[in-house]
Structure formats: structure tokens, C-alpha cells
Structure 1
Amino acid sequence: MKLVRWIRPIVAGLGGLVLTAMIAQADEANDYPTSARAEYVYGCMKANGETRQTIEQCSCSIDIIASLLPYARYVTAETVLSMSQVRGNLGGEFRSSEQAKNALDDLRRAQAEAEVRCF
């Protein structure tokens, strides 16, 4: 009888810890804001056609990218892509920097994986 009194709170506490860990893991896997996902799907659809199948493929694609690349790294790569189109010295820094190249390489690898899995 006394053992049962000790086990119930322990089991309840462990269950709470497991649930908390699962929620934290889900939050980490979904750190991309909805607006970023929507923007990606919109651009992807413009590039690949505006069909129902394309919506599914583009949604899959951003989900794969999000699972492989943290959002902060995605933002860095998107910024590099945008700024590297600027002419002159400012754009040159984004085209020639090793950090910029690494960020773009990470994004391109994630996009290639998404392409293989989703299209």
C-alpha cells in the first residue's frame, strides 16, 4: 500500500517530463514562422506552376528545409541571396565572403534534399 502511494506521484512526474520534452522538441522542429513558410510556398509556386500538386510539393519542400536548416541560418542565406544582387562594394562583400558562401551552401544542400524528396 505504501509503495503505491510513492509510485503514483513518481509516474505522474515522469509523464509530465516526457510531455514537456516532446513539446520542446516539436517547437525546435517548427521554428520557422508561418509567414516565412507561406512566402516560400508562394515563391515556389510562382516558379513551378500554380497547381494543387505544386502546393503540396512546395509545402513539402519548406518542411524538409526547416527540418535540415535552423531558421536563423535560413534568414542568413536569404539575406545573402538578396544582398549579393546589389551592385558595387556592398554586394561584393556578400558575393565573396566565406561566411556568405557557407550560408548559401547550407541552403542549397537543404533545397537539393527537398527537391529529391518532394518533386
Structure 2
Amino acid sequence: MSRTLVERVARSVLPAAILATSLMAGPVKAAESENDYPTEARADYIFGCMAANGQSRESLSRCSCSLDALASILPYDRYVQASTVLSMRQGIGQRANEFKSTKVFDDKVAELRRAQAEAEIRCYRGGA
């Protein structure tokens, strides 16, 4: 008798426990995807942004906002791929031309540009 009671409780509690665990893991997964940019990459982005937009406290705030918005839209690995393509396009010669004239690379850069535009709207035009 006690065994069947234990089995019934396990059958009713276990699905609820699994559901609760999966619900708790959802927000953690989303937070992880927004925070997958390494600290060095974040600092590099913000230093570059501040160099282009002024060395003020307001600039620091907006550049930090911009990076957070970018990270929420574009995973770090795709950011690195697009940044690499942009860097390679600055060169000269056959290799640079391959990066300039390949649709796959154009798509990666376009995705980065769209994410940057969205981040600018959120942080510079939205009054952050």
C-alpha cells in the first residue's frame, strides 16, 4: 500500500517539478544569450564607441546601452563573424575582394548593420 501511495505522489509531483525546472531555465537561457559577449569584447566595443561619440559620461551610458541592445539582438559568434568580414574587407588584393563580393559575407554584415541600427534607435534616439 505504501508503495502505491509513493508511486502516485511521484507521478503527480514529478511532472510539476519538471515543468517548474524548465520554466526557471528559460529566463536563464535568455540572460545567457545576452551576456555571451566576453568582457574584453565589451570593453573594446565601448572604448571604440566612446572614441567616435565623445569621452563623456553620457557617451559611456549610451555606448553601454548600445552594446547591451546589440548583444540582445545578435549572438556573440555572429558578431565576431561580421566584424571579421568587415576587417577583411579593408584589405587589398584577391582575398579582400572575395570578402567584398560574396553574398554570404554580405548577409553577415547586413545582419550586424541591422542590429547596430536597432541599438542606435534604442539608445541614441530613444533618449536613453
TM-score normalised to the size of structure 1?
0.85
How many residue pairs get aligned? The number is 116
CA distance in 1: counterparts of 2:17 and 2:93, whole angstroms: 62
2:53 to 39, 43, 48: 48
In the alignment, structure 1 residue 16 sits paired with structure 2 residue 21: yes
Larger radius of gyration: 2
2:86 to 81, 93, 101: 81
Write the letter of the residue equivalent to 1:38. A
Partner residue, 1:61:
66
Write the letter of the residue equivalent to 1:65. L
Partner residue, 2:121:
116
**C-alpha contact (below 8 Å) 2:89/2:100 kept by paired residues:** yes
Partner residue, 2:31:
26
Write the letter of the residue equivalent to 1:6. V
1:105 to 106, 110, 115: 110
**For structure 2, which runs of at least 5 residues remain unmatched after alignment?**
none
For the aligned residue pairs, the C-alpha RMSD in angstroms reads 2.0
| Structure 1 residue 9: Cα displacement | 4.8
Deviations 1:2-42, CA, capped at 9 Å, x for gaps: 7xx93895455543333233322321232211211111111
CA distance in 2: counterparts of 1:55 and 1:6, whole angstroms: 55
| Structure 1 residue 72: Cα displacement | 1.3
**For structure 1, which runs of at least 5 residues remain unmatched after alignment?**
none
| Structure 1 residue 87: Cα displacement | 0.7
TM-score normalised to the size of structure 2?
0.79
